[in-house]
Amino acid sequence: MMDIHKILKQLPHRYPFLLVDRVLAIDKGKSIRALKNVTINEPYFEGHFPHRPVMPGVLMLEALAQAAALLSFDALDSAPNDEMVYYFAGIDGVRFKRPVEPGDQLILEVELLRRKAGIFKFKARALVADELAVEAELTCAMRTIT
């Protein structure tokens, strides 16, 4: 539904911090399903961990937040600009269920629970081969830069 070229127009992140490769489905204002291909070429695998590469949990959460941002911009029919920034504001109920390793496809599923005054609350989870890797509630804030 959204390829990398469209994602690059929506998110300010760039390599090595862009963590969404494709949007598989989006239900406007409700949910998004996106994909992160995890490859051995990711720079963090050099140090996390050299003997057994595992995707850092904080980066799984960041990938979910980036998918949430894509859902938010789509819900608002807008795109980020130089006067606006989209921040992580909170993370609740995080549970890591399985490691994510090179070669895995991380499926990012994010549901918008509510939005008010530029604050967005999401239920998010990431799966590998239909197996839960991480789940959390995310709060993000869209703010004008002053």
Active site residue 48: yes
- The residue whose two tokens read 């005054």 is 117
Helix (H, G, I), strand (E, B) or coil at 123: strand
> What are the backbone angles phi and psi of residue 145, rounded to the nearest 5°?
-80, 130
Q: How many CB atoms lie within 10 A of CB 78?
A: 12
The C-alpha angle 106, 107, 112, rounded to 5 degrees, equals 130
Per the CB < 8 A criterion, the answer to whether 13 and 62 are in contact is no
Query: Which is catalytic among the residues 5, 13, 48, 51?
Result: 48
> Which residues are identified as catalytic?
48
